[in-house]
Every structure is written in C-alpha cells, then in structure tokens.
Amino acid sequence: MTPTIADDDWSRMFLDGKWVPSPSGETLAVADPSTRDRLFDVPAATEDDVNAAFEAAAAAQDEWADASPSRRQGAILDGMDALEESFDDVVDLLISEGGSSTAKATIETQNTLATMGEAATFPARMKGEHAGSNIPNKENIVERRPEGVISVITPWNFPLVLTMRAVAPAIATGNSVVLKPSSETPVTGGLLVAKLFEEAALPDGVLNVVTGSGSDIGDNMAGHPVADVVAFTGSTSVGREVAATAGRNLAIAAMELGGNNAHIVTADADIDEAVEAGTFGSFIHSGQVCLSINRHVVHEDIYDEYVGKLATRAEEIATGSVHDPATIVGPIINESQREQILRFIDDTVDAGATLETGGEVVSLNGVEDSLVVAPTVLSGVTSDMPTACNEHFGPIAPVIPAGDVDEAVEIANDTEYGLSGSVYAGDVGRGREIAQRIDTGMIHVNDQPVNEEPHMPFGGVGASGIGRYNGDEVLQEFTQTKWTSVQHEPRDYGL
C-alpha cells in the first residue's frame, strides 16, 4: 500500500474517494522556495468543488459515525503505516515544497506519526456514563458522539503535522472531513494526506481534499452550512474572519492563531543554556513558527553578555538552500513575507534599535531572487518597536532589557496574544512562579516555546485562538454529548 509519492503529478483533488480534476481546468503553480523552480501544478478548486466535497462528506458521515472503534482505529493505523513506508519521500516533499530544513522536515514527519498514534487511541476513549435520576425508575445515559462534518483549513509552515493534528482526530472520532490546505503547500498539507489514507478502511467521502486559493474558496470552507466544526490554523487576522463566518452557521470554531511569545531570562540563569534555547526558539524554520520566540526579555545585569553570545550563535547557524542537509535557516515562504520581515527590521532600526547581526538577504548560487533572510539579532529594542509588537514570523531575535522580574512579566504580557512562552531561570521553582504569571495557553521553564506533544493540550488565550488541540481536549472539541433517559416503569406525572 505504499503511496507513489515521489513521482505523482498531484494534478487532481480527492473527492468522494476518487482523484478528480477540477472541472474549471484552472490550476495553481507551486514553486520550491529555495530554488524558485516550479515543482508542480495543483487544481484551483471552485465553490462548486467545495460544495461537492461537503455533499460527499455529509453522505458518508452517518456510516462512519456508526463504524466500530476498531475499524476507525484501523484507518488511522493504516495511514500511519503508509507514512512510515514513505518517510523519506515525505521529508523530501517538505523540503522542496515548504522550504523546510532536513532537520525540521524530519522532526515534523516524526511528530506527525506521534500525532496519528495518539489519535488512534481516540475510538476507545469515546466513553459515556450512567447517572442517577431524581425521577423513580429512570436511567440516565450520556454518550459521546461525533460532531458531524469538519471543515479543516491549514497553514503552510508545518503543513503536514498541523493538518494531521485536525484530520486524524476528526476521522478517529467518527467525523467526516473537508480539507483545504494552504495554496503555498497544497501537497504536504492536503493531497499527501489523502494519498496516505487512500487505501485505509475509509468509506468514500469521509476524507475530501480541495486545493485552491483562500480568496476564491476560503469563505465557502469557513461558512458552508454543512460544516459542524471549522478547524483553522493560521494568522489571527484571518482567523477572526473565519470564526465570524463559521459563527453565522452556529458552527464550532476551533482556532489556533498567532503568537508573540516571550523568552524571559533571569539574572541567575545559565546564560549559555538560555542562549542555546533562545537560538533554537528564534531561528528554527527561519522563525516561521507560531510558537517561535518573538521577544527575548533579558535581565539588564546579563543583557550585554546575552546579546553578544546570541549574535555569535546567529552567525554560526548554517544558512542557505535547504537542499543542503546541513542548513538550518532556509528560505522564507514567499516574496511578500520576506519583504515584510525586512521592513520590520529596517523600521525597528530606524526606531532606535541596534542591528547586531543579519538584516540582509542571503544570496544563493543560481537563484535570481533569494528568499533567504540572514539570522538577525537586534538589541536596544522596546516593546513598541515593529519586530517586538508584531508577530514578525521570520529569523529575527529582538532583545529587550528588563530591570527586574516584575518588569519582565509586564513586558511579556504586553500583547494581545497568549500562545506560548518560556522562562529561563537559575532556580526552577522561581522559574515556575514566573511562568504562572504569564498570560499564555502554554509556557515552558528552562526551555524555549517551540514545544508540542500529541497528548498535551495545545492552544492559546486572547488573540491566539479558541479551543485546544491534542489529547482529551481535541477529542472533546470534535465530539458532543447526547443525553438519553430511559423510564423503566410507568411514571406518575401527578396530573
């Protein structure tokens, strides 16, 4: 059942169990961010295609909801087997399509397998309960049932794992799915997922994948009347619109949105360890991570030393084309993102910050318009400067001084976001006390913010989202309770 991933042309969508072209004949070109070469063309779906996908999902859902736990678990395990057998091909696709480094692509594929493994336990965890009644001879039964049809809209930065984080639990809990991946990564975020599940024991229509531009079909994905849940991962600005559109149909909005995560470093922290964590947290996947460190908040007593060591580490990071397995910082996903990152850097320097290193585009041999931005460290940053007050989504490390812990906490909380964060402290107990004061959905002590484990709740507060993924939280997100009462003896109504 190994998918033919390496040589597939990806020219069709997956609807109702079949690979079909879009009747419009329109396509979207997908390019390699490192080489800028065209990789393949995918269908540009229309609203009619989306409607057909939802029609197929609705028709398939009842049968799948009634499938045995072992059958639903088996479908997830089949998908895992396909991914394991195609591991190297999948890593190569993530490198070529999404600009992932070999290290990042490998970690993402491993995490996807772990996510699917967790989801495979969900069919056996959909348990209900019996409860007593105030009415004589009555039995109360609470069941956990699928929500129905789930609309999944996913991003380009971690396309495979962030898609599977929604799709695998949805299928495992008896729902059907309509998936629209980002137009930047339509294969690794969508068509590949259909390929992995193609030979699994899924009824036709349980999983449907449409590829296309958000401007063309995004509103229909978010506001389709058949959708019972709209699961979206992406920017806060788009997420607000998606949630509002879903709400008009009273669909549940599961939103994992942006972040402006702080890395607090106290005066008694081990500076070398804090810098190493900070380097990873700012520069992994070129900073294109919702969990990445957006602000380094460092005690003034160690500030200069921290900045110097962070700049040195930034200059040591292997930077360039991700087709070199040693590369860590590779290309930004597209020109508009690159230009925004460079503007943030320039505007922050104009506002009074000091550019310690980086801040320029890295030339690549044979590439006319490189998308690689050098790892950048900025000192003398304040909270109102562009790289600090915006989610910059690039390889930028703005370092903000703090006079004491109270000021550091105030700086960390000075944002509408509340996704993740980290505290590096010499005393772990003190670090945990500080962590409790940070308004985030996730926080990590003596580590950096880029952490995810499939059995731990993932999500934020404030402008960082609604709801949670992973573990029991996503199981509850994608299911609903149904109360059934049984009156075993005739009831006296007192009329």
410 catalytic? Reply is: no
Give the integer Cα–Cα distance in Å for 433 and 419.
18
CA distance to 1, 86, 120, 200, 346, per residue, from 79 (Å)? 10, 11, 10, 6, 46
Active-site residue among 97, 118, 290, 356? 290
Given the DSSP bridges, would you call strands 417-418 and 461-462 parallel, antiparallel or unpaired? Answer: antiparallel
Phi, psi dihedral angles at 134 (to 5 degrees): -75, -10
What the block records as the tokens of 293 is 């460190």
Give the integer Cα–Cα distance in Å for 459 and 457.
7
Place of tokens 């703090």: 402
Helix (H) or strand (E) holding 20: strand 18-20
What the block records as the tokens of 489 is 């003896």
Q: Which of 178, 172, 168, 231 is closest to 207 using CA atoms?
A: 178
Given the DSSP bridges, would you call strands 465-466 and 138-146 parallel, antiparallel or unpaired? Answer: unpaired
Active-site residue among 147, 256, 391, 477? 256
Sign of CA dihedral 47, 52, 56, 58: positive
Q: Are 455 and 125 in contact (CB under 8 A)?
A: no
256 catalytic? Reply is: yes
Active-site residue list? 256, 290
